[in-house]
Structure 1
Amino acid sequence: MIRRFVSVSVAVAMMLSVGIMARANGLDAERTEAVAELTALAGTTRTALQRTDYLEGAVERAEDDTADRAAVLEVRPAFLTEITALSTALAGAKGKVDTAAHRAAALSAQQTVLDERADPDTVKNATATVHALTAKVGEEVATWQAVQLAQSAGPGGPAWSTSGPDGYARVRAALDRVGGGGVGLYESSSCAGGNAPACANSGGYIKYRGDIANWSEGRLNWAMAHELAHIYQFRVWGALNSSGAYRSMFGGDPEFLANCMAVVRGYPGSVGCNGDQQAWASGIWVGAVR
């Protein structure tokens, strides 16, 4: 009986011991899980704090960037005004002065302004550069006009009147294009009492009526080539008028010969000439009367 009681007591004790151990193990597991959760929570908290710091920094940077861009945008209109002024100056300088370097500098300044996002002083400096370019182009055009007036004025006065400097420049460019770069040119309404659009003088210069400055390029080139031909005729005038070939091939007509000489230069008018006439006329350009 006593042995049975002892056996039962031992069994109960063992069961209690196992239960206590199981409970202890369960508590350890719960503690481990709780520690893991707290660790994860702490990590999440740190991440959240880091994100908050990053966002605050990003907001500050964005505010700074916005302020910088606003400052740049504020000074851009002045740059655009100067670019417009330079474009007008360059258009007025066409055919008068070489503006390639000025255009390149303006394009560089424009790209600098387009790329700039933070520093308004960079835009201001570019604006000053373009303003200086405009002034430079204006000075060069004024110098060109003064030189043209001094070098090309004929005996009748200034180089131009009704055609203006731009009209004169267009006629001058046509004369230069056909080979008359060293020939004087000035506007006059005196050619055939104003009935002829242009005429050559034996003194070595050409006069033009103001309205031909508006002629098409092809017609204007032909007119200047025709008048330049007369200048070359004057240089061999005596031999020319003594030439039997001139009388037989051109009827002694200097206008017909001038048209044919223009054809030789590549500027045909409304009156053509055959191959033999062109070959003979080409000699006048080099001072040869065959």
Structure 2
Amino acid sequence: MIALLLAAQAATTLDSFDTPGRWKAQGSDGVIATASEQGGALRLGYDFGKVSGYAFVARSLAIDWAADYEVTLRVRGTGGLNDLQLKFTDASGANVWWFQRRNFRPSEEWQTLRIRKRDIEFAWGPTADKVLRHSDRVELVVVRGRDGGAGTIEIDDLRYVVLPPPTPLPPPRASDPRAIDRDPRTAWIGKGGEGWRIDFGGRQSLGGLTLRWEGAAPRYAIETSDDGKRWAGVRTVDGGDGGDDPIALADLETRWLRVMLPRGAKAARLAELVVEPPEWGRRRTRSSPRWPRPRRVAPFRAASPNSPIGRWSGRMAARHRD
């Protein structure tokens, strides 16, 4: 067991899974868990049967954590929607930090999970220091979620990159500054086919948005872009009734963001767009199962800076659909 002291901006392979025997599988009562090698990767097989619980693989791995970092892990598999966790514990096993991806459905093709420092939270334990500075063990866990059942999770290329200190970004620029001037008397006025956009000057992180409409804005889309030319939808709202629309966009990163009104829509007035911090979105995702969400979710991409969490008075007559 070797502690990894990592230099800034250096990428280190924590585990290439060439020796999958280092990992041991275990399940809670009534849950079947197996570990096996699969084409140079580690496969966790699980079967929840008719019970709730969890299955995991774990190994000893000592890591000294830097001030800022990113962890990447290649994942693929089979099965339904369940919760995926990556846990790091100290030598005592009593103090636990974790990354959680709720309602995770593995794809048959490899995908890369990118886990930033802010995505890893203190889960539980007696320590007074909640900051992850050193860990001695890593676990990959599947917790029964909506679907349960049987399936597999394959993992490969667990890597760690130490990140340099963030570079301060310039003030954001909006196509119409009246929507970010914190003055409720001013507003961007758009009609069908038009959009309002903001350039953050670099990739920023946000947890969601609060859109403050003057009057009704029943339909609109939120889109992001890395270059200001190619756009990807992240939310579509149908049935908005005006007022304040709080929209959780947990762990989103982007350079540009825009609000688009569909063709044929009546004129709408956006008095203010408040960018919420990442913690805001994570709290809403975890603690508000009935939180109003958009009806349609387009392919998830990345967006933006901190703003104070606001109060809301309107409501969205919208539902979420996977």
Name which structure has the greater RCO, CA cutoff 8 Å, separation 6+.
2
TM-score by length of 2: 0.21
* Higher-Rg member (1/2): 1
Q: Which has the higher helix share?
A: 1
- Name the structure where strand makes up a greater proportion of residues: 2
